[in-house]
Chains A and B, each alone.
Chain A
Amino acid sequence: MLEALDVSVRAGDLLAVQQVSAAFERGAFSAIIGPNGAGKSTLMRALAGLTPVQGGEVRWQGRSLASHSRRERARTLAYLAQTEALPPDTKVRDVVALGRGAGEWLWGLFPGNPLSFGGLSADDDGAIACAMQRTDTARFADRPVAELSGGEQQRVSLARALAAEPDFLLLDEPTNHLDLAYGLNLIKTLREEVHNGLGVVAVLHDLNLAARADHLLLLSEGRVVAQGRAENVLTPRHLEAVYGVRVDVIRHGGRLVVVPEG
């Protein structure tokens, strides 16, 4: 379980996240929603251990995340940044391979073959191939990243994150810049991973995609407004209070759909 206990995080001079408490389970798909500037990305970075918390504590596997070593953290928590820079001249397979063992940056440089400069073991190769299989990126494994579309690059980044075989995957606005099909496809892939036991936390702007999550966390101005199942969080009262827009929430095919009025 990945937990935020009364967490406050500074971003610049601003306290972007204030006393947020939330628990995220493995085998569940959680979505963090809220308007721009609500502190979603900052909270994600804190959950990933990439930014220090000013108050409270992020707990991972029953103890403070800060007490985990860099390597333990990197092996168990994968993070996908909002805009991940992919080196354009690098082959897809090589990008995905970067997901393996980066924590062993210097001392573990020579596992196995000393000529490999930190090259990969059979385990690594297996995990990389498997990650590309699951994200449907294996078919362009040998192409340079620059030749792929934005949606395909996003899948490469996902493969890179999954190659580490993490327990939790934290994604910061993964569906931005994706068209309808790619967005849905990404959610479907994440669903499959969740089914296999991965914990997923994603910052989402699209409330109708977020409605598919098992657990929602609605943030506004750095604080939790509501959390829980979609029907308890995506209510007209909450959304109007947070976004300042009148909305209807209707049910369509067993799923909630948020329709702004006007």
Chain B
Amino acid sequence: MSAVKTFPRRAASSPALPTLFLLAATLATVLLAVGLGSVPISPADTLKAIGHGLSGAELSGNDVIVWQLRLPRVALGWLVGAALGVSGGAFQGVFRNPLADPYLMGVASGAGLGATLVIALGLATLWLPLFALTGAMLSVFTALLIAREGNRLPPARLILAGVVVGSILTAFTTYLLLQNADRIRQVFAFTLGNLAFAGWPQVGRLLPYVLIGGGALLLLARALNTLQLGDLTARSLGLPVERLRLLVIVAASLCTAGAVSYAGIIGFIGLVTPHLVRRLWGADHRILLPISAIAGGTLLVLSDLLARTLTRPAELPVGVVTTLLGGPFFLYLLRRQKT
């Protein structure tokens, strides 16, 4: 018997401190992301510019940079990160698999094919979000239909169906790319994730997906907790397991598809964020999901800040930054995890 009581593995009994830290980090990140750039702007000026923008007053000088360039980019990045964080947590919960991520059901490949079609057909980039979203949701529904067994949706079949549908769509994308090699750069800009074209209209169009998808997931949070006891036990407790699984997958995919269609394919935020949150806040989905949304948003804004400042004046694709940071970090978490 060891006499020394080790620290509890989680601070779940008092998550107030991490929550305060997260909120402070979020505020600091937003102010920093708006302030830093080719023209540095102080937090005070930032707040003033936001005030001007909100009140509809005439914008002058730095106000324009803040209100029309940086703030919409920060807002879009935060929404995309929140969407990926919440849907990552939901996917990991519904599959009871910590390796699940928002792209598990083929969302990324479907969106990629949609975007590639727009670029290959030479359509206006205005169409890109719509095509990407349609491609993403079509691939999810195809995977759901294939995995269906009577009225059941066995998780193992869902994962396999999602992966294979994704591979097939990626093959189409690759073929289209080879046929249109001159436009390959544009497609890469999408598949590597990009927030450079952010504006208020994009923020406004993405918002409903995140609110509806994320809101539905929050309503299902307690049911996700019950599902952790296994399908059979959850059903014995009166949970309509198959309906729950379908709803969670559709809602989480809606979030992800919205995010992908406006920001491209951004890796690792949806995988790493829920892991991080679970360590500090515990596994209760009623807390895990909203906190993952906030943390995911903040992490993505931070990554985007690095993406546009590290190699100034050139910009890195934000998906490269999240993968370079998130990949090793995930491996670190994996090594520390006791089984």
Contacts and interface: CB of A to CB of B under 8 A. Distances in A.
A243 to B, nearest CB: 27
Interface residues of A, number: 36
Contacts of B218: 117
A80 B90 CA distance: 26
A117 B218 CA distance: 8
A199 to B, nearest CB: 15
A144 B226 contact: no
A48 interface: yes
B236 A48 contact: yes
A79 B13 CA distance: 30
Contact of A77 (B12, B223, B236): B236
Given A74-B238, A109-B219, A117 B286 contact: yes
Given A81-B230, A86-B229, A102-B226, A91 B12 contact: yes
Nearest to A90: B283
Contacts of A80: 233
A112 to B, nearest CB: 13
A89 B238 contact: no
Contact of B222 (A86, A105, A164): A105
B240 interface: yes
B9 interface: yes
B205 interface: no
Contact of A98 (B9, B237, B244, B282): B237
Given A84-B230, A84-B233, A90-B228, A70 B283 contact: no
Interface in A40-94: 45, 48, 50, 70-71, 73-75, 77-81, 84-87, 89-91, 94
A14 B134 CA distance: 42
A222 interface: no
A183 B13 CA distance: 32
A103 interface: yes
Interface in B235-290: 235-240, 244, 278, 282-284, 286
A134 B209 CA distance: 47
A228 interface: no
A71 B236 CA distance: 9
Nearest to B230: A85
Contacts of B12: 89, 91
B10 interface: yes
A81 B225 CA distance: 17
Nearest to A143: B8
29 contacts: A48-B236, A50-B235, A50-B236, A70-B238, A71-B238, A77-B236, A79-B233, A80-B233, A81-B232, A89-B278, A89-B282, A90-B225, A91-B282, A94-B225, A98-B225, A98-B226, A99-B237, A102-B222, A102-B226, A102-B234, A102-B239, A105-B239, A105-B240, A105-B244, A117-B221, A117-B286, A118-B286, A142-B13, A164-B237
